[in-house]
Structure 1
Amino acid sequence: MEGNISLNVKIFMSIVLVFVLGLFMHLYSVLVIKPKKIREMLRKQGINGPPPKILLGNILEIKKSRNAAQKTPTNHPHPPVSHDSAAVFPFFQQWRKQYGQLFAFSLGNMQIIYVNDPDLVKEISTGTSLDLGRPKYYQKELSPLLGQGILSSNGAIWALQRKIMLLSYSWTRLRAIGMMNIITESAVSLIKSWKHELSTGSGIGEIVVDEYMKRFSGDIISRACFGSSYSKGQEIFSKLGALQEVMSKKTFFVGIPGLRYLPTKSNREIWALEKEICELILKVVKERKEGCEKDLLQVLVEGARTSNLSQDAIDQFIVDNCRNIYLAGFETSAVAASWCLMLLASNPEWQERARSEVLEVCDGHVPDTDMLRKMKQLNMVIQETLRLYPPAPTLSREALTDMKIGNIHVPKGVNLWTMVATFHTDTNIWGPDALKFKPERFEKGIAGACKNPNSYMPFGFGQRVCLGQNLAMVELKILMALILSNFSFDLSPKYVHSPVMRMIIEPKDGVNLLIKQL
């Protein structure tokens, strides 16, 4: 009897040992051997880069470089005359000088090729193959924000979502939900709040504009997406904002295996917010009456219900793409508006040119679509703002299978990153004044502004270009037109020019303006 028990114990221990050894060999292969093989394949093609550390890759170097840059005192002129937003990525600048326009680095065990060659970027941006898709870490590490929505999905799922979202962002649908009225009313509300603030003084006051821009953008999305459930939409987007802020602190840790499963304080906060957001969105969907709403949420609901999906898949589709609409349209529009006001305040001659145009075109009326089309000067100002401070400073793709791009053989699983902020300020593309604010460069359109039109990509590129880019331009034009026609403004002496990378490039301490009512 005892002999049988002893034998069983030995067999069990042997099984455990084999399992542990097998797990160790698997992890060693995934975390050490495979990344090493990929880097060797890239080196043979002349693609070098900073040597990575096991498990962490180059994360420690990136963190050290960013910390050093933040501690280094800056002596920006006031107002700023040079706009190098790519400086928020000092490690990329250093590596580019050391290894050239094409180099490899690692975030954890995720292998990335930095691509800054215009011809390669053109091939990536114009390609139609679904084998070059969104990086898988979007669904894994950024799942609380993106889920499996249009910003993170690939293949047939992405194609279905894009089809539905194209309908959502068509001008026919946007007119049906009164989008122009929503934008105008939100902008007028902001103008009234500024006038109220200035009424207590001599008509001149100091305003930190960032929170107003976020309120304006959030108001539009809440009303457009949730219609009569507007107050609940505000609550949902408020929680999404909190979730985005927590996750922005983990941007360069996405490649560390298993980190998102650890019950750290930030992870627990992320899990709780994600659960609350999902529950709130589904509650709004269940409370609304069939066909009574004309908002973007209803388009998602109807599109999902006609796509032969299970109820669980429908719920997931709606929740994920509500989150995606927020991420794509809220923070980016708000921050772009803040940067635009900073640049106009720093360049009074352009502020006056844009104001004169708005006053002439609108003649005292609220701008409509025909008036917006006539605002050439303002359009140039906004295009230049998006060049210097692009909403998406980096664009990434993943090779979902072994593939060839240009002369490079890209192994499956390797990410390709393009630094938009670097492209937008490259003197070889934009000329020696690339770091200067010069809206006149867009006088003859994008093709006349630079040597390579494919190098201008504030809303992304290729098949995955932002569906809401035209809507974003309309938002910015209406808001800037109403501000210019009601106020003049200068930079406050308190303004400190410190762009910082969170989820996007933002003014670290806000944009302080001295505003005068006209």
Structure 2
Amino acid sequence: METLSYVLNFLALSSLFLLLYGVAKALYTIWLRPKWLERNLKRQGIRGTPYNPLVGDMKEFVRLITEAWSKPLSLTHQIVPRVDPFTLTTVQKYGSISMCWMGTTPRLIIKDPELIKQILSNKLGHFSKPPISPLIRVLNRSGLTILDGEDWARHRRIINPAFHLERLKEMVPAFTVSCGKMIEEWKKMVNEQGTCEADMWIELQKLTADVISRAAFGSSYEEGKKIFELQKELIKLTLEAMQGIYIPGFRFVPTRKNRRRTKLDKEITSMLRKIIENKMDSMKTGRTKVDDLLGLLLQSSNQNSLPEHASGNKSPGMTLEEVIEECKQFYLAGQETTSTWLTWTVIVLAIHPEWQEKARQEVLELCGKKQPDFECISHLKIVTMILNEVLRLYPPVIAQYLHAYNETKIGHITIPAGVDLNLPTLLIHHDHELWGEDAEEFKPDRFAEGVAKACKEQLAFFPFGWGPRTCIGQSFAMTEAKFALTMILQHFSWELSPSYAHTPYTVMTLQPQHGAQISLHQL
């Protein structure tokens, strides 16, 4: 009996200890730590919204975007109040360096180009991507945009050669074949008057998926395209899940949508594995040319696995699983952002027909009606100005989000570990102090002397990021956008359809909420 009593007392004390530990940990997470971080930031003169336990500013955030997204805009480029009303309201009320709350985590909004430059240069290595939701990881577990540290540096070094200028020139057929195919489909759609209506958001998503499939997988293009279609369904299901309240572990509950996400993930991975293994075999036997992104990735990875000349140490290449994840990344980063960019370009040129005509005259003068080549594309000054100005007004990614993993001094402020950062690209691109009173007007002439001289501040324009983590596919995206816009201008003029509603909003990227209906006229 004494032994049993001892065991029961021990269990009771253990249970009490675990209960007290759980309560203390919850108190620290929900109240003590957030309040300490809040006090730390306020002591430095940083103002912001008061801390609301657990939920933070989520209720106000949802209220503002629900209200903003409920009605369309007039045909204006003053889109910030509709697209990101919460960040705009916070900055207007509390200043260019202000604080808000994402649950129990404080988020610093930093709208100061000089401070942003220091953060993105990340010389101390203390800033990185915020902790990734398990729901997002199903889309990409170890791609370049997810990784940090040595793994990121290794992947970047291996992938970088695939995006060099000479390699881009080899991908021109992927651009022209896909664009030509789209143009021919549009010609079949026109009526006896030579006109038709099309939703550019749908059409240009199909185009960029076609381009990245050909550029990434070459002869395995059809298989690659099927993979991307499955991945698009997976993205949709993942975004649906993220819009609800996140319950840890719920993704493992075998609901219909959870089972479908798991099946899609396994199917995509299996299909990619097969393509990659076939590519590796054909490269070993010399049966295929290394002229697509996958081939270049595998070639560069093999080269990086050889001993380095100086030290004799091996610089490891990528595992098969890592290559699979980078192939998923081609789609996530290379398809969605470029289709968004092109869609807004077509819409903006419908709103500003005088610039559409200027671009067309330049294209016809330099390229004629023949299929454009890389040389022709590289001399298109007006087209480049237009594309940059659209990127300024409608950046595909409206903000960059980082996390401070160590205490770091930036300019006059010290950012404690555990704080999220919001670098609001959209707000900076529309800032009157940086760009002038006409900041929200479409004026491609700003870029007449190039990006460096478009604004007095060096980092007032950063649609592809800045510093060591600048988007590796920037040149690829610009080349693709130039080819697509050039070939559309050669064959069609266009205007907004009466059914078009100007409704920019964000779902991962800046998209037209109700489509991009355009009336096309064959030339």
* Structure-1-length-normalised TM-score: 0.91
Partner SS for 1:167: helix
Q: Structure 1 residue 227: deviation in Å?
A: 2.1
Q: CA deviation at 1:269?
A: 4.7
- The alpha carbon displacement at 1:259 in A equals 6.9
User: Using the alignment, how far apart are the partners of 2:488 and 2:187 within structure 1?
Assistant: 11
1:285-336 Cα distance to aligned partner (Å, 9 max, x none): 234424145232233344555547999x713312221222211110110111
Is the CA contact (8 Å cut-off) linking 1:357 and 1:375 kept in structure 2?
Answer: yes
Return the alpha-carbon distance in structure 2 between the equivalents of residues 266 and 461 of structure 1.
37
- Identity over the aligned pairs, expressed in percent? 31
Counterpart of 2:211 in structure 1 is 220
For the 8 Å contact 1:145–1:244, the answer to whether it is kept is: yes
Corresponding residue SS for 1:137: coil
Q: Does 1:488 align with 2:486?
A: no
**Matches of 1:69 and 1:265 in 2, distance apart?**
32
Partner SS for 1:31: helix
Aligned 8 A contact 2:163 2:475 in 1: no
> Which of 340, 349, 352 is the matching residue for 1:347?
352
Q: Is the 8 A contact 1:32 1:54 kept in 2?
A: yes
> In 2, are the aligned partners of 1:168 and 1:296 still within 8 Å (CA)?
yes
Deviation digits for residues 428-469 of structure 1 (CA, Å, limit 9, x no counterpart):
111111111111121122233222131101111111111111
Instruction: Tell whether the 8 Å contact from 1:146 to 1:323 is kept in structure 2 after alignment.
Output: yes
Equivalent residue letter for 1:499: P
Distance 1:53 1:130 in 2: 31
Deviation at 1:280, TM superposition (A): 2.4
For residue 143 of structure 1, the aligned residue among 120, 137, 152 is: 137
Are positions 1:298 and 2:290 aligned together?
no
- Residue matched to 2:311: none
Tell me the residue number matched to 2:164: 170
1:62-77 alignment to 2 at 5 Å? 62-71=61-70, 73-74=71-72, 76-77=73-74
After TM superposition, the structure 1 = structure 2 runs for residues 449-464 of structure 1, keeping only pairs within 5 Å, are: 449-464=454-469
Separation (CA, whole Å) in 2 of partners of 1:246 and 1:52:
32
Corresponding residue for 2:418?
413
Distance 1:251 1:465 in 2: 27
User: Does residue 210 in structure 1 map to residue 201 in structure 2?
Assistant: yes
Q: 1:265 to 1:457 in 2, by over 3 A?
A: farther
Deviations 1:378-436 (A, max 9, x none): 11111111111102111122222111111111111222111111111111111111111
- AA partner of residue 9 (structure 2): K
Q: How many Å apart are 1:130 and its aligned residue?
A: 2.2
- The answer (yes or no) to whether the contact 1:86–1:422 under 8 Å persists in 2 is no
Letter in 2 for 1:122: K
Range 231-240 or range 385-394, more displaced: 231-240
The CA deviation at 1:168 is: 2.0
Asked whether 1:125 is paired with 2:120, we answer yes
Residues 239-279 of structure 1 show CA distances to partners (whole Å, capped at 9, x for unaligned) of: 2222223333566889x683775747765554443333223
8 Å contact from structure 1 (residues 394, 417) kept in 2: yes
Letter in 2 for 1:438: K
Say whether residues 1:39 and 2:56 are aligned partners.
Answer: no
Q: For structure 2, which runs of at least 5 residues remain unmatched after alignment?
A: 306-313
Check if 1:101 corresponds to 2:96.
yes
Distance 1:111 1:137, change over 3 A: farther
Which of 378-387 and 145-154 deviates more? 145-154
User: Is 1:424 aligned to 2:429, yes or no?
Assistant: yes
Counterpart of 1:50 in structure 2 is: 49
Tell me, in whole angstroms, the C-alpha distance in 1 between the residues paired with 2:472 and 2:410.
Answer: 25
1:187 matched to 2:185? The reply is: no
Quick one: distance in 1 between partners of 2:101 and 2:5?
A: 48
Where 2:459 maps in the other structure, the secondary structure is helix
List per-residue Cα deviations over 1:90-126 (Å, max 9, x = no partner). Answer: 1111111211111112222232110012221122233
Q: Does the aligned pair in 1 maintain the 2:98–2:108 contact within 8 Å?
A: yes
> Aligned in 2, Cα 1:260/1:354: closer, same or farther, shift over 3 Å?
farther
Q: Could you tell me how far apart the structure 1 residues matched to 2:252 and 2:50 are?
A: 27
- AA in 2 matched with 1:63: V
Partner of 1:25: 24
Q: Is the 8 A contact 1:251 1:503 kept in 2?
A: no
* Count, aligned residues: 507
Residue in 2 that maps onto 1:7? 6
Q: Which runs of structure 2 are paired with 1:329-478 in the superposition (5 Å)?
A: 329-478=334-483
Partner of 1:161: 155
Secondary structure, counterpart of 1:506 in structure 2: strand
Structure 1 Cα separation of the partners of residues 240 and 94 of structure 2 = 28
1:388–1:260 distance in 2 versus 1, CA, 3 Å? farther
Q: Which amino acid counterpart does residue 300 of structure 1 have in structure 2?
A: L
- Greater CA deviation, 200-209 or 420-429? 200-209
| 1:394–1:418 contact (8 Å) kept in structure 2 | yes
Verify the 8 A CA contact 1:49 1:99 in the aligned structure 2.
yes
For residue 183 of structure 1, report the CA deviation from its aligned partner. 0.4
CA distance 1:408–1:491, change in 2 (3 Å): same
- Structure 1 residues 195-238: Cα deviation after superposition (integer angstroms, max 9, x where no partner): 0111x432111111111111110011112222222222112211
5+ residue gaps in structure 1? none
- Kept in 2, the 8 Å contact 1:402–1:409? The answer is yes
The separation in 1 between residues aligned to 2:130 and 2:517, in whole angstroms, is 37
Contact 1:392 1:460 in 2 (8 A): no
1:319 counterpart residue number: 324
Root-mean-square deviation (CA, aligned residues, Å) is 2.4
**SS of the residue 2:88 aligns to:** helix
Q: Which residue identity is paired with 1:22?
A: Y
